[in-house]
Amino acid sequence: MILSPSILAADFCRLGAQIEEADKAGADYIHIDVMDGLFVPSISFGMPVISSIRKATKRTFDVHLMIQDPIRYIDTFKKCGAEIITVHYEACDDVDAVISAIHAAGCKAGLSIKPGTPTEVLFPYLDKVEMVLVMTVEPGFGGQKFIDYTLDKITAVRKEINRRGVSCNVEIDGGVTRENIDMILDAGANVIVAGSSVSTSDLRSLFARSTFC
Whose Cβ is closer to ligand DX5: residue 9's or residue 166's? 9
Site string for ligand DX5, 6-35 (x = CB under 6 A): x-xx---------------------x-x--
What's the maximum distance between 2 C-alpha atoms anywhere in the chain?
46
What b/e string do you get for 58-87 counting C-beta neighbours within 10 Å, with b at 16 or more?
A: ebbbbbbbbbbebbebbeebbebbbbbbbb
User: Does 94 participate in catalysis according to the annotation?
Assistant: no
Q: Which of 23, 33, 36, 62 is catalytic?
A: 33
Using the rule CB under 6 A, give the single segment among 70-78, 99-107, 124-132, 188-196 that binds ligand DX5.
188-196
DSSP 8-state class, residue 86? E
Residue partners of 2: CB distance under 8 A and separation at least 6: 28, 29, 169, 171, 190, 191, 192
> Which of 10, 59, 64, 203 is the binder for ligand DX5 (CB under 6 A)?
64
Binding site for Zn ion (CB under 5 A): 33, 64, 173
Can you give the binding site for ligand DX5, defined by CB under 6 A?
6, 8-9, 31, 33, 64, 137, 139-144, 173-176, 193-197
